[in-house]
Amino acid sequence: MNDERLIAFERLLNIMDKVRANCPWDKKQTFESLRYLTIEETYELSDAIIDKKYNLLLYRKNNRYIICPIDNEDILPTVDGHRSVTISFCHDSNYNIANDNNLENISIIERTEKTIVFKLKPRCGIEELNFKIEIDGYSFKLPLYIPRLWWTIHQNNELNIIWQDRAINLARRDCSASSETSIIIYIPEMLYDIDIFIGFDAKNKKVYKRKKSENSIEINMRDFSDHPYLSIPGVHDLKLWVKEKQRYTTVKSCKKTVLLICSICGF
């Protein structure tokens, strides 16, 4: 039996047999006693999937946990762009945790006997991070998901693929009825069911949905050519809203100066 998957599965069956034969707690369990525990674990898994808390789906063995708090995992940036993410692994001393991504934008900023902290600099298109966990002679990969939104401008039939997370300046003519200017928003695959709205004000915002087969949506600036703000001198913010589970998050998407400036900024 040379297939690594079969070898791993056989090891799992051996562990299960050993636990059932020797663990005092396992010996006492019946179908009835395990029923409520199984239901509880299933609901926790279901809630984590619904809430897109994929990072809660971590490894547990013999009631020893890998605790992995993640800071700055918001899908929308601040006005200064996406913040660096810190991933802290708190674990037993016999765990070994390593980054399995071979990425230049991730580094270790702290390591102790029971803690290791990684820092990830934001980069478009990198939503899944894989870590290799080793314990008691057994190793496995632990994926963590950190989805974020990015955008770029499509102008004059030229697509400049430089993904942005801050304000982009546009002129008044970019919102004219004949404008060919558009904003392309990159949406990671795991965020396919979120609702995205864009507009100068909440009352007149427009909704855009991504097709499941695509990882971006295109928003034509001429869709806003008739907005009354565009006839008022000054700087006007084109905002972007994200709706998740009946909760809205918003950030400036474009600023228009009349003259008009459009600034895409901040999911």
Out of 15-24, 176-185, 199-208, which region has the weakest mean confidence (pLDDT)?
Answer: 15-24
Residue with tokens 């901040």: 266
The ranges assigned to domains in the chain are 1-50, 55-146, 150-258
- pLDDT surpassing 50 at residue 188: yes
Please report the pLDDT score of residue 262 as a whole number: 39
Rg (CA), the chain: 24
Two domains, one topology: 55-146 and 150-258? yes
Backbone angles phi, psi at 264, to 5 degrees: -85, 125
Lowest mean pLDDT among 83-87, 143-147, 259-263: 259-263
CATH architecture, range 55-146: Sandwich (2.60)
- From CA 29, how far away is CA 32, in angstroms rounded? 8
* pLDDT of residue 61 exceeding 50: no
For range 118-139, the mean pLDDT: 82
**pLDDT surpassing 80 at residue 194:** no
Length of the chain: 267
| Contact in structure between 187 and 218 (CB atoms under 8 Å) | no
* Dist CA 97 CA 59 (whole Å): 12
Phi and psi (nearest 5°) for 14? -65, -40
| Three-state secondary structure call for residue 95 | coil
Looking at domain 150-258, its CATH architecture is Sandwich (2.60)
Alpha carbons 65 and 211: distance in angstroms, whole number: 38
Statement: residue 214 has pLDDT above 50 = yes
Which residue carries 């697509």 as its tokens? Answer: 159
